Amino acid sequence: MDWQELGAVDPRGLAGARAQAHWAAQAIAAAGETYLAHVPDTSHTAMSWDAPLSALAGLAIPGALPCRVALRVRDLMLLLVDAGGREIARAALAGRTLAEASAWTARAIGLHTRSGASRPLVHPGYELPAHPLASGGRFELEPGAQAELPRWFANADRELRAFAARTPGAGPVLCWPHHFDIATLVVLEVDAAGEATRTIGAGLSPGDESIGEPYWYVNHWDAARVAESEPGKLPALAAGEWFTDGWTGALLLGSELVAAGPAAAQQAMLRAYLASAVEASRRLLTAPSP
C-alpha cells in the first residue's frame, strides 16, 4: 500500500483519539499477558499492524483453534480473528468501560478456543497516563481524529518494515502497549552473553504526555557510555531536530511532516529524516569517547 497522506486532522488535535486507542489496546496487552508465555522483553504483550484489518493485532494465542485479539483503530472496534485473519467476533467499544472490554475479550477467547469458563485477563501492570477510563469511564469516539490515527500507524509500519528489511540487526516492527509507539530496534553490538550493548531505535509515537502530537524518533544507546549529547556537536539532520533533555535522539514532529505537502513530499521527508538520523546515531555510537 502506498503512503497515505496525513493532515486531514491537525496532528496536534489527535491527543484525545490517541488516548482512547491507547487504553483500548490494553485489552490486547492483557490477553498476551494472560495467555502467552512470558519473555524478558515483554513482547508477548506487544502488537503489530495488520494492514488487511487496518488494526493493531496481538500475537496468536496458541491451541487447537488459535486466535488473535485486534483493535480496529478507526472506530474502536475490538476484534477476535482466527489464524487466517478471518473475523470471529467483534465488539464496539464506544460506550463501554475498559473492564467491559476485557470481559468481552476473555469471553470471546473462551468461546472460540472451547476452553469452557472465561479466564479473567491479567494486565501487565505498568502505569498509563491518567485518564477517566482508568476509573470506570466509557470509551468515546472522535470520528475524524479516530480515522486519521490509522494512517499514521499504517505509514509507520510500511516504512519501518522496509527499513528493517534492508538494515542488518533490525528486529521486528512492533507496537508496544505501554508507550503505544511502533518501532524497530537495530542491534549493532552484543556482548559475550549475547546481550545487546549498542542499539539504535527507530519508530513513531502517536504522541504522549510530553509531546502532544505524533512524532518520529531515532535514538541510540551504548551500554559502556552515554553518547555525546552536546547540541553543538551533534550531526546535522535532513529534517527534524535533536532532543537532548534526559536522552539524546532525533525527533521529527508530525506537524512538520504534514507541512511538507502532499503524500509524496511527506514520504520523501520521512525517508530523508530517517536515513540521516540513523546515520548520525551510528556516528555518535562509534565516535571516540571524550
Q: Find the domain containing 26 and state its range.
A: 11-135
Question: For residue 4, is it within any domain?
Answer: no
pLDDT band at 116 (very low <50, low <70, confident <90, very high): low
What does the pLDDT read at residue 140? 97
Tell me the C-alpha distance between 8 and 20, whole Å: 19
With pLDDT > 70 as the criterion, what percentage of the chain qualifies? Answer: 95
Last residue of a domain, one of 135, 161, 177: 135
Last residue of a domain, one of 135, 168, 183: 135
Tell me the C-alpha distance between 184 and 285, whole Å: 18
Q: Are residues 160 and 193 in the same domain?
A: yes
- Closest residue by Cα to residue 161 from 83, 42, 15, 50: 50
Q: Pull the grid cell for residue 49.
A: 499492524
Question: For residue 229, is it within any domain?
Answer: yes
What does the pLDDT read at residue 174? 98
Do 199 and 219 contact (CB within 8 A), yes or no?
no
Q: Are residues 108 and 177 in the same domain?
A: no
The amino acid present at 222, given as its one-letter code, is: D
What does the pLDDT read at residue 108? 94
Q: What is the pLDDT of residues 68-98, one digit of tens each?
A: 999 999 999 999 999 899 999 999 999 999 9
**Rounded to whole angstroms, what are the CA distances from 174 to 39, 108, 128, 233, 262?**
15, 24, 18, 32, 27
Q: What is the pLDDT of residues 232-271, one digit of tens each?
A: 679 999 999 999 887 789 999 999 999 999 999 999 999 9
Question: For residue 252, is it within any domain?
Answer: yes
Q: Are residues 156 and 276 in the same domain?
A: yes
- Closest residue by Cα to residue 7 from 252, 259, 267: 259
Q: Are residues 150 and 274 in the same domain?
A: yes
What is the pTM for the complete model shown? 0.95
Question: For residue 46, is it within any domain?
Answer: yes
Q: Are residues 282 and 150 in the same domain?
A: yes
